[in-house]
A and B are shown apart, each in its own frame.
Chain A
Amino acid sequence: MKKSLTKKTIQGREYFYLCYRTKGKLTTKYLGTVDSPKYKKYLLSLTKTGANYGLRRSRIDNWKAGVPIAYIEDSYIVLEYKNGVKEYLDSKENVKKVVFPNG
């Protein structure tokens, strides 16, 4: 469901609303100010849904170009290849372990 965030400024203070359609009916949900728990919860929900977008896109772009994707896991730099092999590097880029897809 597509939800759009709208903002109103009243006397210098910003108030946020979430607008969406349910069964064709427009619903507006009040989220409060930038400090309110509802607004913060909304921001957190966004990071949850969009959080791994970069990773998903890297998988498409990098693997298509034949290079691994890079991220951090357990304080190691992980290079993950298309065939599922993961190389774990330390901060000096020395390979510490290699994990194959089937263990």
Chain B
Amino acid sequence: MDEEKKQLIIVAGPEASGKKTFAEVFKTAFLQGLPEDNLYKGIISGMSFYCVSSLSTSDEVKLVKLAKERGYRVTIYFLFAPHELCLVRARLRSIVSKIPYNETEMKAKYDSSRKNLAELKTSTDIVFFIRNLKEFDFVSALSPSELTARTYQLTIQKVQLSVELPE
């Protein structure tokens, strides 16, 4: 039997899209019971781990690319929810759990997390698309490396369109 490859599982998606809840519910199944760590510390440790990240900054993108270079098998569970719902949830969460939020920052992060998902095409082994409108809805699983950049981008756009609210 071969030595198991190091695993990096990322629960990603915009702010207030349900990442932490998803990680909590599916810790044993999808996250394979791995310990949680932040991207930087986890990669430096060289151990298998999972992290919850919005993937909205260039630093996070660089770290995922670094993980891939260091031999990690990268799996992303990306949560899709409309921006308007994320905003309302963030507002309610700020009352319930006193977690602060900034509406302007949230919009910028909302857009960049999807762009970064597309940019991580060659660094991702498997990506799972999950809609979170009312309940977690498993949309599809695919290997980005088997798709062209254009097809991958279109697939992301298609899932995004399926959650957007009419104007």
Interface residues of A (CB under 8 A from B): 4-5, 7-12, 34, 40, 43-44, 46-47, 50-55, 57, 61-62, 65, 67-73, 75-77, 79, 89-91, 93
Contacts and interface: CB of A to CB of B under 8 A. Distances in A.
Nearest to A68: B92
Interface in B2-49: 2-5, 18, 21-22, 24-26, 28-30, 32
Interface in B54-98: 81-82, 84-85, 88-89, 92, 95-97
Given A4-B28, A9-B5, A46-B26, A55 B92 contact: no
Interface residues on B, range: 35 or more
Interface of B: 1-5, 18, 21-22, 24-26, 28-30, 32, 81-82, 84-85, 88-89, 92, 95-97, 126, 130, 132-138, 141, 163, 165-167
B29 A65 contact: no
Given A77-B84, A91-B167, A5 B134 contact: no
A46 B29 contact: yes
Contacts of B88: 70, 77, 79, 89, 93
Contacts of A89: 88
Given A34-B141, A67-B95, A91-B167, A52 B135 contact: yes
Secondary structure dominating the interface of A: mixed
Given A75-B165, A90-B165, A91-B166, A54 B4 contact: no
Given A54-B135, A70-B88, A75 B166 contact: yes
B21 A54 contact: yes
A44 B141 CA distance: 11
A89 to B, nearest CB: 8
- Return the 9 tightest CB-CB contacts between A and B, nearest first: A72-B133, A51-B135, A71-B134, A91-B165, A54-B21, A50-B25, A47-B138, A65-B96, A70-B88
